[in-house]
Amino acid sequence: MRGLAWDEHVVPLMVRAPFDEAKHPRDPRGRWAHSLTHLRSTAAARAALGAEMDAQGLPPDSPLRGVLQYDVRGTHKLVHRDEAGRIDAGIDYRYQKRLRTQSHHIEINNMRVLPKRQGIGSAMIADLARQYPDAKEMAVYGAVENAKPFYAMTGAKFVPWSHMGEWDAAAVDRLRRTQASRAAFDEAKHPRVPRGHHGGGEFAHIAGELAEHPPRQPAEAIDTGRNTFAGADKKLAAAVDKKLAAPQMLRAGGLGRPGLPPYRESVQRVRDAILREIATQPGALEMGKAWYPNERKHAERRAKAYGVSPAQAAGVMAATSPRASYDINQRVTDEILDAVPRLREAAEPVAEAGGGVMGTFRDEGVRIALGESPDTALGGLKQRSFFNNMMWPGQTDDVTVDTWMMDTMAQGLGMTHDQAAHLGREKVGGSPLGYLLAADATRDAAKRLGIAPDQAQAAYWIARQQALGIVNPSAQQGRTKRGSAGRLRARGEVGAA
């Protein structure tokens, strides 16, 4: 589908398939029996389901249509019909007998049940497990907060801040052997947090199994402005697609970058490149999960060592990070924190300690060390996202897009690194096009992996460097190895689709 708001542009294929009595059995008293039907998610099947929902008068914007008629991610649909044969619930899911491109045998992408608290959803989850006796594990991706207690009730386990739930082999086996619970939802068992970036009300824990955790977007996190093109209005979406489609030329002549697919397709391609890179490097995913929590610990240690707050320590590191390798970023952060609080307003001599960091960014770090709020001192989207990621690891939707993340677009969109860097400098509506594309792709990859966006970004950051021979990216980035990476890019060995 072209465009950002792809679901708004879908024109249903109206297929008036004849009603098949055999597909809607009646009970001995002549009433329609509840039925569950598994279908391959083909274009014809989705169109037929759309026609059936048309016939029963379901509104065009019904979320159930989104699951059964519009969602094309899954390999199958599970359809529930009530006593009258009307579709009232559905699941879009992927099934893979031999795990080649997914992590679980059954993966739920989307689910909607119109009648509430009747046990229909639980029955559908259990039926999924029974439909595939060889399936060992199931997962649900992109679960919203309000749905997590339901999935947990059926045996899924969530980790804090994750939107992926997993049923392990034992839980799947229990689903096959037992009837789904029809117990009424008990609000008292699912307390909510008072605030969050959606206005509050998110569930604090799932059925007592998880400890209460902070809201997804901490109130103290600094505002990063527009950090996504997802959900953009039609006018902006069209402008983004138009910009991507047009090849960009260099001022001095020559091709800056080729024309690219529409935004949503480009995001999906870059997402897949991120997932492939992470999958090729054993250990990168686990290292990525730990990277930002470790940086938070570094900030706390620096705070104690230099007599500043953790926010100042993280702020100085964020300020001095643009266009600086990790090791230089670390060194300059320590030099500024060591010198500025002692020099106070007479801090100009610290400029001599800022080798490897541009003056503007070094000055921002000095201002933070002197006591200015990171919220007012930090200017760039990358710096502000990096600060939030270090201060609240795993708790925000912010993505730090640095030079290494340009490789995601080079790999996913078949460009050279220089062409990806050109895309990274382009803007639409005042927002950085390449940055937001890479950030949205990282968020999509995080959903597939069941982790936070910053964890996915860190995992790719590590995996990409390991693929180029940097064994310990956090210690070695920026020196001779970085030069080797540049030579690889120059020879065209980086950026293949």
What size, in residues, is the chain? 497
**Nearby residues of 487 by Cβ (< 8 Å), 6 or more positions away:** none
**Number of compact structural domains in the chain:** 2
Residues 277 and 405 in one domain: yes
Dihedral, CA of residue 30, residue 34, residue 35 and residue 41, to nearest 10? 130
Residues 84 and 21 in one domain: yes
Residues 46 and 152 in one domain: yes
Residues 120 and 39 in one domain: yes
Q: Which helix (H) or strand (E) holds 39?
A: strand 35-40
pLDDT at res. 366: 85
- Calculate the CA 358 to chain-centre distance: 31
Q: Is residue 127 part of a domain?
A: yes
Domain boundary (189, 213, 243) is at 189
Residues 294 and 436 in one domain: yes
**Nearby residues of 180 by Cβ (< 8 Å), 6 or more positions away:** 119, 122, 123, 125, 126, 154
The vertex-67 CA angle with 63 and 71, nearest 5°, equals: 120
- Calculate the CA 217 to chain-centre distance: 14
From first to last of its 497 residues, the chain has per-residue pLDDT tens of: 333 333 333 333 333 344 455 554 544 544 445 688 999 999 899 999 999 999 999 988 888 998 999 888 889 999 999 888 899 999 999 898 776 656 678 999 889 999 887 888 988 999 999 999 888 889 998 787 778 888 988 989 887 666 788 898 889 998 988 654 444 445 554 444 444 333 444 444 333 332 233 335 677 889 888 888 987 888 999 999 999 999 999 988 889 999 999 999 999 999 999 999 999 998 899 999 999 999 999 999 999 999 999 999 999 999 998 878 888 888 889 988 888 766 655 545 454 444 444 556 778 888 898 888 999 989 889 999 999 999 999 999 999 999 889 899 999 999 999 999 999 999 998 899 999 999 999 999 999 898 999 999 999 999 999 998 876 666 444 332 333 334 333 433 333 22
pLDDT at res. 236: 92
327 vs 475: CA distance, rounded Å: 6
Q: Is residue 196 part of a domain?
A: no
Amino acid found at 473: P
CB 477 within 8 A of CB 465: yes
Residues 251 and 343 in one domain: yes
The single-letter DSSP state of residue 392 is: S
Q: Is residue 77 part of a domain?
A: yes
Residues 129 and 246 in one domain: no
The vertex-148 CA angle with 143 and 149, nearest 5°, equals: 165
Q: Is residue 495 part of a domain?
A: no
Q: Is residue 206 part of a domain?
A: no
Residues 160 and 283 in one domain: no
pLDDT at res. 288: 94
Per the DSSP assignment, residues forming a β-bridge with 36 are: 80
Residues 135 and 246 in one domain: no
- pTM to 2 decimals? 0.56
User: 109, 128, 221, 202: which is closest to 172 by C-alpha?
Assistant: 128
Q: Is residue 354 part of a domain?
A: yes
**Radius of gyration for the chain, computed over Cα atoms and rounded to the nearest angstrom:** 25
pLDDT at res. 344: 57
Q: Which long-range contacts (CB under 8 A, 24 or more apart) does 286-289 make?
A: 287/458, 287/459, 287/462, 288/451, 288/455, 288/456, 288/457, 288/458, 288/459, 288/460, 288/461, 288/462, 288/463, 289/451, 289/455, 289/458, 289/459
Q: Which domain holds residue 378?
A: 235-490
pLDDT at res. 232: 81
Residues 155 and 268 in one domain: no
395 vs 163: CA distance, rounded Å: 12
3-class DSSP assignment, residue 489: helix
Residues 146 and 77 in one domain: yes
Domain boundary (189, 211, 227) is at 189
Residues 355 and 424 in one domain: yes
141 vs 198: CA distance, rounded Å: 19
Q: Is 28 left (phi over 0), alpha (psi -120 to 50) or beta?
A: alpha
Q: Is residue 225 part of a domain?
A: no
- Rounded to the nearest 10 degrees, what angle do helices 234-245 and 433-449 cross at? 100
- Calculate the CA 416 to chain-centre distance: 25
pLDDT at res. 125: 93
Domain boundary (152, 171, 189) is at 189
348 vs 147: CA distance, rounded Å: 55
